A = this chain, B = another copy of it.
């Protein structure tokens, strides 16, 4: 299984090989991330809660949702790389904050 660190390297190399680093400011990447999340929403917007829960079993919608989540992940990983943020560490810190604000029952 590939790791997040390997994915980060692959996405960075992808940008370098196309001379796209000049476009990859945090601001632009955040917009691109939002654009991809918008495409993900568009796949789910008219579904009932039940239909959304079964979406991966749909032979048409399932692969599209998977592809959109792939795009979201690519831009999130690229944004974190450009900002010098470790995604897992950052998320664990935020989860610890949330645990203090919303104690478990």
Contact = CB atoms under 8 A, between A and B. Distances in A.
A84 B66 CA distance: 10
Q: Which bucket holds chain A's interface residue count? A: 35 or more
Interface string A8-29: 0011001001110001011110
A73 B76 contact: yes
Interface of A: 1-4, 6-7, 10-11, 14, 17-19, 23, 25-28, 30-42, 44-49, 52-53, 55-56, 65-67, 69-74, 76-77, 79-80, 83-95, 97-99, 102, 104-105
Given A10-B95, A28-B49, A35-B38, 5 more contacts: A2-B89, A7-B88, A26-B65, A56-B85, A69-B90
